[in-house]
Amino acid sequence: MIFRIWVVIFWVGLLMGCSEPTKNESAGKMVQPEKVYRWRLVTAWPKNFPGMGMAPEHIADAVREMSNGRLDIKVYGAGEIVPALEVFEAVSQGTVQMGHSSAYYWRGSVPAAQFFTAVPFGLTAQEMNGWLLHGGGLALWEELYARYDLLPIPGGNTGVQMAGWFNKEINSLADLKGIKMRIPGLGGEVFEAAGGTAVTIPGGEIFTSLQTGVIDAAEWVGPYNDLSIGFHQVAKYYYYPGWQEPGPNLELIINKQAWESLPADLQAILRTASLAVNNDVLAQYTARNNKALKELVEQHGVEVRRLPDDVLAQLKLISDERVAELVGEDELSKRIYQSYETFRKEMTAYNEYSERAFMKVRAALEGY
């Protein structure tokens, strides 16, 4: 009987202990459960697409782990909530809290945004990161996007791209005339000025458009992604170098009101995760593009061609004109252009003593 009484007392005490609120003994205050933020992130990429399509997934995973689940981000591929080319508007309006894409897709409404993806014959990936993070570029980007209630953070870079897939040989600038090519951003404007027709369509639609003849040529990214889509099945020639996108930067964009609702530690975690993935994406493309190119050539018989020097020279002249026209009368656009151009010229000069000088020596010594 006494044993039963003690058992009852034990369980009553245990239950009372479980139901009693936890107290902060030093402050004498109730400890409130930490708030969980559940956000949605839309992208311009097919769901789980290799490389850049996985970048937002990795950002979300890193944020969830570092925040102990306090910021839980669910990623949606292109078309799951909004179409690929409507990411900017959806985040700006607050339909969703975040987006992952490329800034040049918004050239129709924000022309200067193109400086933060790629400029033909412009900055490489390493140089772009230098300009954004230590050359004043990110501050200008934030100032531009603040007009649209957005905060941008670098979200990856695919490195120097290829010039694209063609079923026709390009031996002169005249060979570009009449070609309908999927090529967005400033590269598309230059291509049109050279006599072609530029078409902007999401990555998920390129293969079918090439296959059915809706377009005659296309640039997408580089061997790693191009192989996974299978462009070698619908085009014969693979041209380089990627004059149109020498270091295309990807963007993570956050609705300004959503950002300001986060406590400082979650803001820091989100920035840190994005910048870590920004570096990892470039490393991934650097490691995998070469193997993919070898497979395209050796197993699929793709003909890799270099664009003629005179074609590149003429495209560069057209590009310089188009970039100057882009700036127009907008004071902020002028400052972005001046900052970008100053950094580019300084890097071009310095590379004569650094990367370019070393690469030339290494290639020569190895017989290339």
Percent of the chain with pLDDT over 70: 91
- Residue 284 and residue 231: Cα distance in Å, rounded? 20
pLDDT of 30: 58
- Residue 112 and residue 152: Cα distance in Å, rounded? 14
Mean pLDDT, to the nearest integer, of 254-267? Answer: 98
pLDDT of 327: 87
Return left, alpha or beta for 205; rule: phi > 0 is left, psi -120 to 50 is alpha, else beta.
alpha
Return left, alpha or beta for 32; rule: phi > 0 is left, psi -120 to 50 is alpha, else beta.
beta
Query: Which comes out higher in pLDDT, residue 115 or 3?
Result: 115
- Residue 250 and residue 51: Cα distance in Å, rounded? 11
pLDDT at 11 over 70: no
Regarding pTM above 0.75, the answer is: yes
The superfamily (CATH) of domain 37-157+247-286 is Bacterial extracellular solute-binding protein, family 7 (3.40.190.170)
Q: What is the pLDDT of residues 156-215, one digit of tens each?
A: 999 999 999 999 999 999 999 999 999 999 999 999 999 999 999 999 999 999 999 999
pLDDT of 29: 56
pLDDT of 52: 96
Q: How far is CA 114 from CA 26, 72, 178, 187, 207, in A?
A: 54, 30, 25, 10, 25
Q: 19: pLDDT confidence band, cut at 50, 70 and 90?
A: very low
Q: 328: pLDDT confidence band, cut at 50, 70 and 90?
A: confident
Please give the single-letter amino acid code of residue 124. Answer: T
pLDDT at 102 over 80: yes
- Residue 166 and residue 239: Cα distance in Å, rounded? 8
pLDDT at 2 over 50: no
pLDDT of 6: 40
pLDDT at 244 over 90: yes
Can you read off the two tokens belonging to residue 336?
């972005």
pLDDT of 31: 57
- Residue 226 and residue 221: Cα distance in Å, rounded? 7
pLDDT of 9: 35
Q: How far is CA 219 from CA 55, 131, 147, 245, in A?
A: 20, 25, 31, 10
Mean pLDDT, to the nearest integer, of 26-33? Answer: 57
Selection from 289, 282, 310 nearest residue 162 by Cα: 289
For all residues of the chain together, what is the average pLDDT?
A: 92
| Contact predicate 157/281, CB 8 Å | yes
pLDDT of 13: 43
Q: 32: pLDDT confidence band, cut at 50, 70 and 90?
A: low
Containing 245, the helix (H) or strand (E) segment is none
- Angle made by CA atoms 355, 357, 362, in degrees to the nearest 5: 90
Q: 33: pLDDT confidence band, cut at 50, 70 and 90?
A: confident
Selection from 226, 134, 149, 223 nearest residue 182 by Cα: 226
